[in-house]
Structure 1
Amino acid sequence: MPVQDNETNTEDSNLGETSAVSEPNHRRGVYLIPNLLTTSALFAGFYSIIASINGDFIKASIAIFIAQLLDGADGRVARMTHTQSEFGAQYDSMSDLMAFGLAPALLVFQWSLSDLGQPGWVAAFIFVAGAALRLARFNVQISKVDKKYFVGLASPAGAGVIWATVWSLADYGVSGQDVAWLMVILVPLIGAMMLSPIRYYSFKDIGGQRRVPFFVLMAIVLVFALVALDPPRVFLGFAVVYALHGPVMEAVRWLKKRKAAELIQK
């Protein structure tokens, strides 16, 4: 559902009657529903930043999680309703940088890294830079890579490791200062993983119109039950498993190639 964009070319205002003739060519529109979801994700990321500044780290973590849900929804809605656009793709990237770059970096900095001084803010900056560069690389490679895989850890997944760790430890009453030197290693490591050439499964080939075995539905029910029992720890487990599955699968592929080469040599 398109709505008219308010942006106009300022130079056209001086063209008189010519502007009136050419105006329809300059009027642009954006699709409402997917961009509304993207705006909601942007708002969730902004709210997380405000909550982190106010010291409400659990709310800040939950806000980033909500941004992840909305970020996953906007692209799928756009594809299902055939409302993809270049504007939407660029807007989504800017929203992602806010929600999955700045918000988690500020969250972990406020919670744990601030007392470390320079090493703390440098670690947080590496994460932000990793997210920004990861998004830029994704945009230029989107038509050149297999959509079944991400090249490097996706920024929402990287943010997931951060907010799930903070939420889980804060929920247990662990002070961020007590684990500051652990976080000063983990945070830039996640930033580096976003820029790595390691492939991660994207789940983009799983659509709502595709039939799946019945046990898949039962597995989803089980996941919801586990989340309900202990949300922060279950989310942390999912985030860590996903972050590690890429390196593990790369190691498996390397071993298979090595064995195949050895068999050829024999």
Structure 2
Amino acid sequence: MKSLPSILTLGNLSSGMLAVIMAIHGEFSLAVTMIWVAMVFDLFDGYAARKLHCEGEFGKALDSLADVVSFGTAPVLILYLNSMTEVGMLGMALTALFPVCGALRLARYNCQKTPISGFVGMPITFAGGLMSFFALWSPYFTTGVAYLVIVVLSGLMVSQIRFPSLKQILPSHEKDIVEPK
């Protein structure tokens, strides 16, 4: 039972990798679907870790690595391949900016010494979900709009703006899961 959170995190990572592969093959709708599947895994891995009382540094590090792939790299790769392949060096640099800012945001979160309610900076999961949705519809927008979306979402991830956590929004009335001995 104690390995369930890590298994769910690996489901997140696997879904993110499948999104990358599908994007490379031009299957953008399926790629976005896999990012949303990764979001479900990401929602439940932390929940399972808390309920099973097995939160730890290993799980936190694994979760961050999976998140950089699933919500940092995959969404912006879909955007790039779907509508930005002709944009040159600026487009490539902005494409790299998004996962870099996501990684910085995760590193800051992982280094926090004192727990705070909510998040400082937009969580990469939320930013990646928004980016994946935009990426699917990006051919209908100008390149300038794509640049703006990348810069704004990247900036929000590394900002000092506070964002609520689902743990704050959703009430928790469930009893803790007790692992059989």
TM-score (norm 1): 0.62
Q: 1:54 aligns with which of 19, 25, 35?
A: 25
Q: Which whole-Å CA distance do the structure 2 matches of 1:100 and 1:79 have between them?
A: 22
Q: Which whole-Å CA distance do the structure 1 matches of 2:82 and 2:143 have between them?
A: 9
> Conserved in 2, the CA contact under 8 Å of 1:124 and 1:188?
no
Residue matched to 2:126: 157
CA shift for structure 1 position 86: 1.6
CA shift for structure 1 position 136: 0.3
Name the structure, 1 or 2, with higher relative contact order (CA <8 Å, separation 6+): 2
Which is higher, the Rg of structure 1 or of structure 2? 1
Residue matched to 1:192: 155
Pairwise CA RMSD: 1.7
Q: Which whole-Å CA distance do the structure 1 matches of 2:143 and 2:27 have between them?
A: 18
> Conserved in 1, the CA contact under 8 Å of 2:98 and 2:154?
yes
Aligned residues: 174
Q: Which whole-Å CA distance do the structure 2 matches of 1:124 and 1:85 have between them?
A: 32
The answer on 1:35 being equivalent to 2:6 is yes
The answer on 1:183 being equivalent to 2:146 is yes
Structure 1: tracts of 5 or more residues without a match: 2-30, 211-266
Q: Which whole-Å CA distance do the structure 2 matches of 1:138 and 1:150 have between them?
A: 8
Deviations 1:12-55 (A, max 9, x none): xxxxxxxxxxxxxxxxxxx3211110000000000000011111
User: What is the letter of the counterpart of residue 28 of structure 2?
Assistant: F
- Mapping 1:1-266, distance limit 5 Å: 1=1, 31-141=2-112, 143-146=113-116, 148-167=117-136, 169=137, 175=139, 178-205=141-168, 206-209=170-173
Q: Which whole-Å CA distance do the structure 2 matches of 1:68 and 1:129 have between them?
A: 19
CA shift for structure 1 position 66: 0.8
Q: Which whole-Å CA distance do the structure 2 matches of 1:179 and 1:50 have between them?
A: 25
CA shift for structure 1 position 208: 4.1
Q: Which whole-Å CA distance do the structure 2 matches of 1:118 and 1:96 have between them?
A: 26
Q: Which whole-Å CA distance do the structure 2 matches of 1:120 and 1:114 have between them?
A: 8
Deviations 1:207-266 (A, max 9, x none): 5426xxxxxxxxxxxxxxxxxxxxxxxxxxxxxxxxxxxxxxxxxxxxxxxxxxxxxxxx
Structure 2: tracts of 5 or more residues without a match: 175-181
Q: Which whole-Å CA distance do the structure 2 matches of 1:77 and 1:50 have between them?
A: 28
After TM superposition, where is structure 1 displaced by more than 4 Å over at least 4 residues in a row?
Answer: none
Deviations 1:67-115 (A, max 9, x none): 1111010000110111212211111111111111111121111112221
SS at match of 1:197: coil
SS at match of 1:114: coil
CA shift for structure 1 position 166: 2.5
SS at match of 1:144: coil
